[in-house]
Structure 1
Amino acid sequence: MDACSATRYHRGKPAVSRDRTAIFYNYFSRRPLRPFLCERSGLSRAQLASLAVGLSPEQRACLLWRDDLPWIAKVIPPAPL
């Protein structure tokens, strides 16, 4: 199955006997074109900073990508959820 048909094919059925959980992952560039659209996670910047404690420098850079943006991109507020 190619990537195009994978976007249209879904085997899932509604949960009828019990609830189920889903995990969604989002990946963004460290220098996104529209950074104001990339902060739609539900975690505040303070929460992200507390999660970064104890991580390796590379992991911290990925989590705190906003710190490396140009100043003009930092003044644009994040888009609402």
Structure 2
Amino acid sequence: SPAQKLVFNRVNGKRPPLLLQQISAPEECYTLAHEENVRFVYEAWQQVEQQLDSSRSGESACGPVQYVEKTPNPGLK
């Protein structure tokens, strides 16, 4: 998204007093959908990590499998 622009309206041709809030960097704002997506990915990844830990310790016979490239492309490293 484009950077927010500060708009200063002059009253009677005078410059408005400079406020510290206007100087500080604008905070990033996230939409509700963005926050839901981040939460979903985070929770799904936590489940994958938990399943990986369980399969490594022998608690589960099936679960996620880490993919290992058989013939790695050196240009992608």
TM-score tier, shorter chain, comes to under 0.3
What is the TM-score when the length of structure 1 is the normalising length? Answer: 0.21
Q: TM-score, normalised to structure 2's length?
A: 0.22
